[in-house]
Amino acid sequence: MSDVAIHDLATMSSEARTRLLERTEADLTDTIRKVEPIIAAVRTRGDDALIELAARFDGVTLDRTALKVSASQIAGAEKELDPDVVAAIRLSVAQVRRFHEAQMPDNLWLNEATEGALIGDRWTSIDSVACYVPRGKGFFQSSAIMTAVPAKVAGVARVVIVTPPGPDGSADAATRFIASLIGIDDIYVCGGAQAVAAVAYGTQTVPKCAKIVGPGSPWVSAARQLLSNRIDPGSPAGPSELLVYADSSVPAALAALELTVESEHGPDSSAFAVTTDRALAEAIAAAVPQFWEAMGEYRADFSRTVLNGRNGGIVLAPSIEAAFDFINDYAAEHLAVLSTSAFELLPRIRNAGEILLGPHSIANFVLGPSHVLPTGGRANTASLLSVFDFMKRSSIAYLSQAAYQRLAPAARTFAQYEGFMAHANSVSEIRDRILSNSSPFTRPVRSR
């Protein structure tokens, strides 16, 4: 019997199919209840709460001076790393920077589609952002690159990193080295819900930020929900999820290998291979265990839990239409299309955080696009993290007198119909009289 679940859509009830679409983070009710007192503690007690929560959740003893990573620790981080890791980080930073520099919009865009009127957009960066770099089931220093580099490219004035402390109370060396490479001076060792609260309210040490970005645990997601009126919570990025579409043009072992990639993140991950070929489905399921043997028991246990449960395995579809209906309904964080016809299949895909076409996939540590992607089915409306997450747009409009006179009557009609008389007055002869007065004042100023 296979250790990988096979879910047959042809024999499945609509209720069972709906359950397959659910994510482990769908209901955060219990987590929100636990997070509320954490947020309250940070709001009222600041640094003291962060120190106590670090002892409680991370098992480390900190003092206020340890909450912020020192300049010397950032500057000396490279010496703590293997040269191969340093080279990989340098390559990733360069690739991600290059991609996002090319993505940057023009600062100002104007057109005269309406004669006599200049209308367009102006892009400006946000003032501050906190980049959350997780640490728990592993090191996630790549998240520092994938969030902070586009923030710096976008021109954010203050970019800070918040990350849980390690066993010795420090930020990991790779995160510190990345900060040194991209010009970030502010790293704070606080994690989980308390980190979100810290940058939402500000503490004696941690600065208040306008936005927080980056992947995180359900505790981080719950805190973001609760604090969305205090800080922009950023794009949703919860537990990892993957769909792999595979057909008989690729080896079953390749699809099996891909399934292990996201399922190794943790038992709350989701990972499915989707195919219309029953023999291929069975071959994929049979091929997975060989990769568990090559992963190490810690990660293999996570992958087994995911792939033998409701949140993972093989989805057998009765037709290609049914396969892509499931794929689009699922709206996965990652979608790998393993087929020699991958580009021909692309028009069938509407919803996915990222789409990896063809057999030569290296995910996106070093490709350029950010790997911070919408999870929980939110890829049906949300996009991957980019420079646009660190910028906002203002509409710009300038009207000549002729354009104003041509458009004002219709604007006045709208205002009158909706009952806004000041709006109507502002596009009436009242404005004309004011502008026709040669004096800049509407009435003379009397001297005393």
pLDDT in tens, 290-325: 999 999 899 999 999 999 988 999 999 999 999 999
pLDDT at position 265: 85
- CA angle, 208 as apex, 211 and 186 as ends, to 5°? 90
CA distances in angstroms from 46 to 12, 26, 125, 168, 205, listed in the order given? 51, 30, 28, 22, 8
Residue 324 makes CB contacts below 8 A (sequence gap 6+) with: 245, 345, 348, 349
Please, what is the average pLDDT of the chain? 92
**What SS3 state is found at 187?**
strand
User: By three-state DSSP, how is residue 304 classified?
Assistant: helix
Reply yes or no on whether the pLDDT at 388 is more than 90: yes
Across the beta sheet with 270-275, the strand order is 6-8, 312-316, 270-275, 241-246, 332-338, 352-357
* Count of beta carbons in the 10 Å neighbourhood of residue 330: 23
- Residue 139 predicted with pLDDT over 50: yes
Confidence of residue 25 (pLDDT cuts 50, 70, 90): low
Is this model's pTM higher than 0.75 or not? yes
Strand partners, 246: 338
Percentage of residues of the chain with pLDDT beyond 70? 95
Across 53-62, 130-139, 374-383, 437-446, the highest mean pLDDT is recorded for: 53-62
Give CA–CA dist 411/136, Å, rounded: 57
Among the listed residues 55, 39, 58, 68, the one whose alpha carbon sits nearest the alpha carbon of residue 196: 39
Lowest mean pLDDT among 74-78, 213-217, 330-334, 417-421: 213-217
Q: What is the pLDDT of residue 1?
A: 41
Angle, CA of 165, 168 and 171, to the nearest 5°: 40
SS3 assignment, position 38: helix
Is the pLDDT reported for residue 90 higher than 70? Answer: yes
Which residues does the annotation mark as catalytic? Answer: 333-334
Name, of 22-26, 207-211, 231-235, the range with top average pLDDT. 207-211
Instruction: Give the pLDDT mean for 201-217.
Output: 95
State the average pLDDT over residues 146-160: 97
Structure confidence at residue 180 (pLDDT): 97
Q: Is the predicted pLDDT of residue 443 greater than 60, yes or no?
A: no
Q: Sort 103 into a burial class: Cβ within 10 Å, 0-12 / 13-18 / 19+.
A: middle
pLDDT of residue 239: 80
Taking 70 as the threshold, does the pLDDT of residue 438 lie above it? no
Residue found by looking up tokens 């409009």 in the block = 397
Instruction: Give pLDDT tens digits for 330-379.
Output: 999 999 999 999 999 999 999 999 999 998 877 667 888 888 888 888 89
Q: How confident is the model at residue 2 (pLDDT cuts 50, 70, 90)?
A: low
Q: How confident is the model at residue 439 (pLDDT cuts 50, 70, 90)?
A: low
Neighbours of 221 (CB within 10 A): 25
At which residue do the structure tokens 């002892």 appear? 55
Q: Does pLDDT of 77 surpass 70?
A: yes
> Residues with Cβ < 8 Å from 373, sequence gap 6 or more?
235, 237, 333, 334, 353, 354, 379, 384, 385
Q: What is the pLDDT of residues 30-63, one digit of tens each?
A: 999 999 999 999 999 999 999 999 999 999 999 9
